[in-house]
Amino acid sequence: MAPKKLEPVHIEASEDPASFEARNVHEIYDAIAAHFSSTRYKPWPIIAKFLSDLPTGCVGFDSGTGNGKYLPLPSDRPGAIWTIGMDRSRNLLEIARHAGSAPERPRVYREVIWGNVLDNGWRPGAFDYAISIATIHHLATPERRKLAVQRLIQAVAPVCGRILIYVWAIEQDELSKRKVVDEEEAEKIENGKDVMVPWVLSKNLAPKPVEDTERPEVYNRYYHMFANGELALLAEDAAEGLGLRVGAPTHGQSGQGVEIVQDGWERSNYYVELRRWSI
């Protein structure tokens, strides 16, 4: 089946972005939580490696944890690090609380909290690391996306605090069911594209009974699909907005900064890894 081209969406300047996100993101994830979680179970390799490389004893948080699939990692050293999950969807958090549980083993209880990725609820530098996977692309304005990155930067330690961010990309791979733009159009887009992505709810996992004769319910979720280079520029802008230098520290330099360790594209997503420094 050929990928389906996504419908673009225009957000009016007069519209309150928080209300827009509540209708087109938060309410939807609460409605589709069980079905959504059933499709999200395999960790992506770069994220798994990022968590596996962290030293034993590190404490971090997952901003927009969803069903908490990254909370049990690293799988090769269970319990070596401690990741706290935060999400706006209470229904997803109920699932995340027991991420990694299996019927044949005692039930696992994870540390999860209900919160907004734009809130400033953490003590500055409280964590050794933070991850934000497929979350920031649900924020409806550049300013809100920038603030979300700043909250991650503020939350990790100013000395060697590490951050990994993933967002959906305009360029979707051959396995994707979605098509954002044509290839020639993608090369011209610098600031991403706002679209609605449909979710066809499974009748078996609907929150209320559905008759066999009824058509499945379709929910349209808002996404800002990122263009090539946009995420790295967002991270730089966020750091500079906090008065931090961008780039690796140099000899004889003093102050605090943020270094982009790596950025790239993986399976229809852009990612960026950041490291804080202070000298």
Q: What are the tens digits of pLDDT across the range 72-109? A: 999 999 999 999 999 999 999 999 999 988 887 788 89
Percent of the chain past pLDDT 90, that is, above it, reads 78
CA atoms within 13 A on the CB side of 102: 4
Q: Domain 4-278 class? A: alpha beta
Cα-based angle 204, 62, 276 (whole degrees, multiple of 5): 155
Residue 171's nearest CA partner among 203, 193, 152 is 193
For residue 205, the model assigns a pLDDT of 63
Chain mean pLDDT for the chain: 92
**137 Cβ contact partners less than 8 Å away, ≥ 6 residues apart:** 145, 167, 168, 223, 224, 225, 226
What digits encode the pLDDT tens for the residues 217-236?
Answer: 999 999 999 999 999 999 99
Question: Vertex 229, ends 225 and 230: CA angle to 5°?
Answer: 50
Q: Does 3 score more than 60 pLDDT?
A: yes
Q: How far apart are the C-alpha atoms of 81 and 204, rounded to whole Å?
A: 36
Which residue in 258, 255, 70, 253 sits closest to 150, CA to CA? 258
- % of the chain surpassing 70 pLDDT: 95
